[in-house]
Chains A and B, each alone.
Chain A
Amino acid sequence: DTAVSQTPKYLVTQMGNDKSIKCEQNLGHDTMYWYKQDSKKFLKIMFSYNNKELIINETVPNRFSPKSPDKAHLNLHINSLELGDSAVYFCASSPLKNTEAFFGQGTRLTVV
């Protein structure tokens, strides 16, 4: 009965590959997010969707493409992975846009 679940938890891949991270929330929330946490633990928003509509796209390279098939799912696809993409990626959701967010466990992506 996990509220926000991401898969996979760990992802190790070679430069140049394409990979996806999946996120699902069972909280009935309308808004979902992707955040990136770098090696110094700094967190920054990447994308936000509200009812399947993109509302935030924070100067992320267009190799990153979010997709929201329905309001319970927000996936992140990354093309042509680079070493600098190594980070922990967190999915989150919130019931309304300016209420607290609930985070998944994170996906640790390592590009070698």
Chain B
Amino acid sequence: GNSVTQMEGPVTLSEEAFLTINCTYTATGYPSLFWYVQYPGEGLQLLLKATKADDKGSNKGFEATYRKETTSFHLEKGSVQVSDSAVYFCALHGSSNTGKLIFGQGTTLQVKP
């Protein structure tokens, strides 16, 4: 079945460091891929998305490229800020065309000043 695997957290970085959060997936067909962010005490917000191979999603300095050959969608940011501290979720749409999102386990990012 479809699944998403993210790197284990927590990830602790200093401000202005480079961020990579790895995400790989298993899916039939051509799923759409998403990164969601959950700030403390809040709901999930869509950070970025990619709907086909080689698409690059970007938002607020974050980027991720849909790599079909490696079944990956790694999240990157060149210079993190304290305000980026949150839980990041990689997700895909299942192949059943029901809108069901399958999430990775989430990666907690803590950025220290």
Number of interface residues of B (CB under 8 A): 22
- CB-CB < 8 A to A58: which residues of B? 100
- Tally inter-chain residue pairs, CB-CB below 8 A: 64
Q: Which of chain A's residues has its CB closest to B91's CB?
A: A43
Inter-chain contact B103/A42, CB cutoff 8 Å? yes
Q: How far does the alpha carbon of A31 sit from the alpha carbon of B87 in the complex, in Å?
A: 25
> Which of B14-22, B44-52, B60-68, B72-80 lies on the face that meets chain A?
B44-52
Q: How far does the alpha carbon of A98 sit from the alpha carbon of B98 in the complex, in Å?
A: 7
- CB-CB < 8 A to B38: which residues of A? 41
Residues of B within 8 A of A (CB): 32, 34, 36, 38, 42-46, 49, 87, 89, 93, 97-101, 103, 105-106, 108
Return B60 CB to nearest CB of chain A, in Å. 16
Inter-chain contact A105/B105, CB cutoff 8 Å? no
Residues of A within 8 A of B (CB): 4, 31, 33, 35, 40-45, 48, 50, 55-56, 58, 90, 92, 94, 96-106
- CB-CB < 8 A to A35: which residues of B? 101
Inter-chain contact B46/A48, CB cutoff 8 Å? no
| Residue from A97, A101, A102 with most neighbouring chain B CB atoms (10 Å) | A101
| Residue from B38, B98, B101, B103 with most neighbouring chain A CB atoms (10 Å) | B101
A33-B99 contact in complex given A100-B46, A105-B43, C-beta closer than 8 Å: yes
A106-B43 contact in complex given A42-B105, A94-B99, C-beta closer than 8 Å: yes
Inter-chain contact A45/B43, CB cutoff 8 Å? no
Q: How far does the alpha carbon of A7 sit from the alpha carbon of B104 in the complex, in Å?
A: 26
Q: How far does the alpha carbon of A40 sit from the alpha carbon of B100 in the complex, in Å?
A: 20
- CB-CB < 8 A to B97: which residues of A? 97-98
**Per a CB cutoff under 8 Å, which of A56, A99, A103 touches B100?**
A56
Q: Which of chain A's residues has its CB closest to B93's CB?
A: A98
Q: List 8 A-B residue pairs with CB atoms under 8 Å apart, sorted by A's residue number.
A: A31-B99, A41-B106, A48-B99, A90-B43, A90-B44, A100-B34, A103-B43, A104-B43
